Amino acid sequence: MRIAPALVVLVACGSDGAPDGPSSPVGPMPAYEQRTGDAANGRRALIEEGYVGCGVPLSAYRKVFEPAPESLRLAGRTGVNAEMPYNMTAFRTAAGIEVVTPNCLQCHAETIAGKLVIGLGNHTADYTNDVGALAEAVGGLVEGEAERAEWSRWRDRIVAIAPYTITATQGVNSADNLAAVLFAHRDRETLAWSDTPLMELPPDIVVPVDVPPWWHMQKKHAMFYVGAGRGDHARIMMTASTLCVDTVDEARAIDAYFPDVRAYLMSIQPPAWPYAVDAALAATGRGIFEQTCARCHGTYGDLEEYPNLIVAVDEVGTDGTMALGAGQFADRYLEWFNESFFGELAFLSPAPGYVAPPLDGVWATAPYLHNGSVPTLRALLDSSLRATYFTRSFDTDDYDTSAVGWRTTKLATGQSEPPRGVRASSIYDTTVRGYSNAGHTYGDALSAGERDALLEYLKTL
């Protein structure tokens, strides 16, 4: 029995540009009962199981890639996976062919302060290129009819999604557009893949996402920046399988262990600030935080409380493109999800606003805002420091401890007229649709000293 129709609040679209279809109000998000699982088994499943469903034949992969260096391997992996980098998984398909594919850590692990942190969003990935041509080229490395069939299946999916997952700049993620394209190519009843889209595809202008840390889900009642993921979180998390899992029976087999994966995600702790802290200044900053920030972001320490609050776009003032129905949050994709196998236990119901996130480990989660448009906490608290055009460092050792975030270089021009020697796709251009760094100006009213104190406190969370 599907829960979505009974629980989704249906709100008619007004003049704000939000799509017709299932949507939630701004304000507090309700909690939903979750299935329990085993965290240890969830970690194993996350890095060993073939939930993506297809990939490059292992024999072709080995023609290009050597075993990963020890620094990129994960403890506890077995067999071929013991030699794989943390973000790749080898598994055997139903046809008996061993393939290699990216796992969830492709987007949900990153290095900071010299340490790989599982659950930290990948802010260095480059999705500015069309990977369809690369998928085609892999065919030249494949031998044998059975392996070519597996490669062809993987290639067809990559070629289908590639034009719709190209971001304007490096460092942001196209996950929401990716989900929309995969939904459009699948029969909602059977999950069967169709080479021809079964509903209108999203625009090929990708709305950017900065991947949030997994440890936020210990406190959040709903998933995604717009609070869309309601009901059973494990069922939503397993949409990673929509690339190549083509039947409901296959999906149910994956769903059987995804409560374990969720349990593992819920066990991940944020990394502690690894540098010195001025304790007296941080104590002053705590008082400022509780007066200025706690209403939306909650309180921390012995008496923690998180309000699970969605703030309207008009109030927070940040780029509203995602909140007004971009990517998988457009009406037809919401309906597909809610009426499919996934809607049996979960449903998508976005709000016209953004979830004020928990701030545990906030120092590590730069850049900030849902689109990664603000590279440092200092700039988040002082909008006068935000550049219209800039490049930022993708060296994970190049961390600015004073500004709490990534070093940037301000530019005079943007992607339409890049400065000499600067690659257009390396420029964060805040005039591009979806990439605005406006809004969240709550810190502007503070004095410079108050902002310094607040920053020092935020390092301790």
Interval 23-61: pLDDT, tens: 899 999 999 999 999 999 999 999 999 999 999 999 999
CA–CA gap between residue 220 and residue 237 (Å, rounded):
14
Average of per-residue pLDDT across 154-176: 94
CA–CA gap between residue 352 and residue 20 (Å, rounded):
12
Residue whose C-alpha is closest to residue 348's, from 255, 227, 234, 238: 227
CA–CA gap between residue 117 and residue 110 (Å, rounded):
6
- pLDDT, residue 302, reads 87
Residue 290 token pair: 């509780």
Residue 240: band (very low, low, confident or very high) from pLDDT cuts 50, 70, 90: confident
- pLDDT, residue 16, reads 36
CA distances from 387 to 12, 90, 161, 169, 306 (A): 37, 42, 32, 15, 31
Average of per-residue pLDDT across 420-425: 96
Q: Between 103 and 206, where is the model more confident?
A: 103
CA–CA gap between residue 437 and residue 368 (Å, rounded):
9
Average of per-residue pLDDT across 378-392: 98
Share of the chain above pLDDT 90, in %: 89
pTM reported for the whole predicted model: 0.93
Least confident of 80-94, 130-144, 423-437: 130-144
- pLDDT, residue 21, reads 53
Is 90 exceeded by the pLDDT of residue 101?
A: yes
Residue 358: band (very low, low, confident or very high) from pLDDT cuts 50, 70, 90: very high
Least confident of 7-21, 95-109, 192-206, 374-388: 7-21
Is 80 exceeded by the pLDDT of residue 6?
A: no
H helix and E strand count, the chain: 15, 15
Cis peptide before 163 (omega within 30 of 0): no
CA–CA gap between residue 66 and residue 111 (Å, rounded):
21
CA–CA gap between residue 357 and residue 182 (Å, rounded):
27
Is 80 exceeded by the pLDDT of residue 5?
A: no
CA–CA gap between residue 451 and residue 449 (Å, rounded):
5
* Amino acid found at 88: M
Confirm if 87 and 106 have CB atoms less than 8 A apart: yes
CA distances from 433 to 109, 208, 331, 428 (A): 27, 9, 20, 12
CB atoms within 10 A of CB 92: 12
CA distances from 151 to 53, 79, 254 (A): 12, 22, 22
- pLDDT, residue 259, reads 98
Residue whose C-alpha is closest to residue 71's, from 125, 116, 106, 118: 116
